[in-house]
Structure 1
Amino acid sequence: MARPIVAGTDGSASAIAAVEWAAADARRRKLALRVVHVCEQLLFSMGKTQYCAGALEAAADKARALAPDMEVSTELLSGNVIESLVAEAAAADSIVLGSRGLGGFAGMVLGSVGLGMAGHAAGPVVVVRGPSVVQHGQVVVGYDGSGHSRAAMEYAIEQARAREARLHVVYAWNMPVLTSYTVGYGSLLEETFEQEVRAARERVLSWRDENRDIEITDEQVCEHPVSALAKASASADLLVVGSRGLGGFASAVLGSVSHGVLYHAACPVAVVRPREERPGPADR
């Protein structure tokens, strides 16, 4: 049975944008949509859940209006927001959230919900800042061959196929800082980058061969991954990254690259944590 897309809502503007994004995604990919609201424990225990219920139903009505033929269910939850949504992720295709919220996400700022969810939730966590105004027909993914970036690539391919969009693969190699002691190693660093570029291009070949119905382009840059991906997001409908990486994203853990793009990307961001660790084509 196909997993549903879960949209978390609290009545805020960014949460409504997230519900709209989730409804469009569910319609494209022919999945059910589950809309949830996590009511603050104090309000829930006091039986004062009118606002929570109202926000939940308003979001569900919005989703049904956008996709009248889509299956939409709702659930009013109580407890810690992150813990509740992590539990939802276990049976979900993906979790979709606004970048900043009110009510059930009280006190959350950009990156905090995404940071907490992406670090613990299984599968993709999509963070939506606002409604999409311009469609670029392109999905961008950061890929370095690691297990987490493989999961990101798989999700990005699925998104590109459903959108009939191009897939642009970005590999960013962050050059070490040169000091008076290392300045003589410039030629060695240049050679190392060229090797990284060749390896990155080869890693993309297997994905291109296995997905000939999708236009897949690739780009290798000598730049910090957050900066490179943020620039690429300006012409993307969705930016996809693994929750942590290796190689081009060396030493990046959740909160650096993933957290960085949550702050700086110009489009919705999907942070993907594998449901189980598996080797990618480059690892086999």
Structure 2
Amino acid sequence: MSSYVVGVDGSAPSKAALEWALERSESRRRHPLRLVHVLDDEAGLAGPDIQLQAEREGRRLLAERLEEARQLYPDLELSSTVLHGSMPWELSHAAGPPDMLVLGTHRSSSSDGRVLGSRSVQVASITPATLAVIPDRRRNPAGPVVVGVGMREPAGPAVVWAAHEAAATKLPLLLVHGMGSAERRAGAPHPELAAINLSEAKKLALEIEPGATVSTRLSPDGAAQALLAAAYEASTLVVGPSRTFGTGASPIGTVTQSVLLNTHCPVLVTRYSAGA
């Protein structure tokens, strides 16, 4: 991984996202970290004075957050950028494939400062980077790293990322597969195949991190419900890209969308088979 890119908008969720990224960078390999604030082009429609004021406030916010971060983490390489344009688009492309883009989220639709949280699904659909979505209240930071295991790609990028994540945090790894009534109606001997897929995913995780504590869970619920239930006890939830990623379709499916809109813990939406 190259660097962390953190969306900053002054809200409690974006502050939680910055704190998460700073802690992570400090405890890992001290990757560079860049704070990004997006000024939406629509601000200019209110007139040049409003636009100038918005830019001044954005730069002041970044300067304050940057100074706070430098006081707490003087050894990290920190920088900041103000971008202009559509917020989801600019955030999505502020980070490249080797980076991790970090955004805050708030599940309550009545909360103030939820600009970034309301954009997480849009950003996940178009960013080329691995995406971390951080809720403003982390329920169980000492819980297991949870990863979803699918039917078609049981040992894909998400399992690789989750294994590295569990090893780096010294936390157990929980592999979850939700059967779901729709999948059971598809006709295949689903429980047997799901158990085989979980076993293959566990084998891969142990090959990557031989000392990891790995367990599996086969849930009768659908994939999204199973993952969200596991998220209550998780420190981090890892989901992979859609199998259609790279063909012009959205890189996230309905499961990832549901997880992002209802997350109880930090969620990593992976892109490549490497953790950091």
TM-score (norm 2): 0.81
What does 1:84-233 align with in structure 2 at a 5 Å threshold?
A: 84-90=90-96, 92-100=98-106, 108=115, 110=117, 112-132=118-138, 134-144=140-150, 146=152, 150-176=156-182, 191-233=189-231
Is this contact kept in 2: 1:241–1:272, CA < 8 A? yes
Deviation at 1:255, TM superposition (A): 5.0
Q: In terms of mean alpha carbon deviation, does 265-274 or 4-13 score higher? A: 265-274
1:38 partner letter: V
Question: SS in structure 2 opposite 1:135?
Answer: coil
Deviation at 1:147, TM superposition (A): 5.7
Output the CA distance in 1 between the equivalents of 2:8 and 2:39: 10
1:37 partner letter: H
Which consecutive residues of structure 2, in runs of 5 or more, have no partner in the other structure?
Answer: 245-249
Is this contact kept in 1: 2:9–2:116, CA < 8 A? no
2:33 partner letter: L
2:94 partner letter: E
Deviation at 1:253, TM superposition (A): 7.4
Q: In terms of mean alpha carbon deviation, does 44-53 or 70-79 score higher? A: 44-53
Instruction: Name 1:47's counterpart in structure 2.
Output: 52
Q: 1:18 to 1:264 in 2, by over 3 A?
A: same
Question: SS in structure 2 opposite 1:47?
Answer: helix
Aligned residues: 258
Output the CA distance in 1 between the equivalents of 2:5 and 2:154: 21
Counterpart among 264, 267, 272 of residue 266 in structure 1: 264
Deviation at 1:40, TM superposition (A): 2.1
For the aligned residue pairs, the C-alpha RMSD in angstroms reads 3.2
Output the CA distance in 2 between the equivalents of 1:81 and 1:271: 19
Alpha-carbon displacement from aligned partner over 1:88-130 (angstroms, at most 9, x marks no partner)? 22165210001159xxx987474x4221111111232111111
Deviation at 1:273, TM superposition (A): 3.1
Output the CA distance in 1 between the equivalents of 2:193 and 2:98: 39
Alpha-carbon displacement from aligned partner over 1:137-168 (angstroms, at most 9, x marks no partner)? 42111122656972222222232222121111
Output the CA distance in 1 between the equivalents of 2:263 and 2:139: 15
Q: 1:22 to 1:145 in 2, by over 3 A?
A: farther
Which consecutive residues of structure 1, in runs of 5 or more, have no partner in the other structure?
Answer: 247-251, 277-284
Q: 1:56 to 1:148 in 2, by over 3 A?
A: farther
Deviation at 1:243, TM superposition (A): 3.2
Q: 1:118 to 1:239 in 2, by over 3 A?
A: same
TM-score (norm 1): 0.79
Output the CA distance in 2 between the equivalents of 1:161 and 1:6: 23
Output the CA distance in 2 between the equivalents of 1:37 and 1:148: 37
2:198 partner letter: A
Output the CA distance in 1 between the equivalents of 2:68 and 2:269: 25
Instruction: Name 1:23's counterpart in structure 2.
Output: 22
Output the CA distance in 1 between the equivalents of 2:201 and 2:130: 22
1:238 partner letter: T
Deviation at 1:176, TM superposition (A): 2.9
Output the CA distance in 2 between the equivalents of 1:215 and 1:95: 28
Output the CA distance in 1 between the equivalents of 2:208 and 2:85: 43
Output the CA distance in 2 between the equivalents of 1:236 and 1:58: 32
Question: SS in structure 1 opposite 2:93?
Answer: helix
